[in-house]
Structure 1
Amino acid sequence: MTKLSFDDQDELGRAIADAVTGVFDCRGKAAGLSPLSWTISAEDETEFEGAHPGGQGDLGAERLCIDWAEFLGLHEERGGDEGCRAWSGELGNMRLRLFAITDMDLHASIYLSDAG
């Protein structure tokens, strides 16, 4: 068992996430891409999810995610029309996923109705 406190573990996790996403943003900038807003989760596997800094439903979100997906070599996930698009792939032992809402009303009607 680790002797690090939960706060120390959180701080370490944030530092790792910041380092990884910093490399993504640096490489993307060199390729002429605007930065994404990145989040990390590590329930079953380490996953970095990228979205437009203005939010997943920002008017430029889809185009920015398409450009990043092409740059990172991610494939588009296929599914029903839920008012969104997603791309994913593996980078070493990490999973990368990009997400954009393309139809806010449709997306909200599906996911808000599921929540109630």
Structure 2
Amino acid sequence: MLTDGRKLTVYNDRGEVSALHDLPALAGKDESYAVLGAGKTFLVVRPNTTGMLTLIDLVDRSVVELAGELLSGDELAYAQTNDVPFRGDLLRFGGSNTDESELYFYYKSPFDPKAEYIRYTYTRQDAK
């Protein structure tokens, strides 16, 4: 994969272009994105402005801000309001199962420096 923050080009194992994605069009916001994960049916991106990890479903074109799905209470409030050291949540993409119906994320609470990473599973209803 190669990206300039706005366009994503996916290459196959022979170096041929297998997919092109317009990230602002897919995500619905005109800004730059870091691409943190990808599969055949999804992209996990982080918009530079909000910093909120976002799932783009390439099948139904839905967009989900993952902090709202995985975090709650003070953890969610922190993700939505913090800006130090950067804006957004602290979620990390960890991979998917083979049929891409489940995506895995890791999170370490900013409130407890001794906290361990917590693994979250996000189930995609229409991935199969």
Please, what TM-score do these two structures have when normalized by structure 1? Answer: 0.34
Higher percent of residues as helix: 1
Higher percent of residues as strand: 2
